[in-house]
Amino acid sequence: MKLSFQDGSLVDYWEGYNFYHKISPQLSQKFYQDFWDSIGKVKANPMQFQERYRKIRIAFLNRFPFGIHYLIKGDRIIVLKILHTRRFLKM
C-alpha cells in the first residue's frame, strides 16, 4: 500500500521532535526512530490497528506519547494527523 501524509499532518511531529531535541539530541533521535518504526508498522499491516472513530485508526508510538491517526482508502494509507496524547504538555 502507498502511504501519504495529508498537508499539515506532521506539525505535531516536528513540534515533538524540536521539544525533545532541546532536551537532548539523542532523545530526539530516539523519537525519530520510534516514529518511523511506527510508520513502518502501519505501512506493513495497516489493518492491525483498530478503528477508533469514523474509520480512522490510531497507531501509538512505543516510547513517546504520540498517536498516528490514519485512514485507509482503497490501496492508500493517508496519515491525517500526528497527535500528542497529552495536550497539556507545553512544547
Measured CA to CA, the distance from residue 78 to residue 5 in angstroms comes to: 6
Residue 86: per-residue pLDDT? 76
Contact 85, 14 (CB under 8 A): no
Q: What is the pLDDT of residues 6-45, one digit of tens each?
A: 999 999 899 999 999 999 999 999 999 999 999 999 999 9
Taken in order of first residue, the domains within the chain and their CATH numbers are 2-84 (3.30.2310.20)
The residue assigned the cell 498517536 is 67
Entry pTM: 0.88
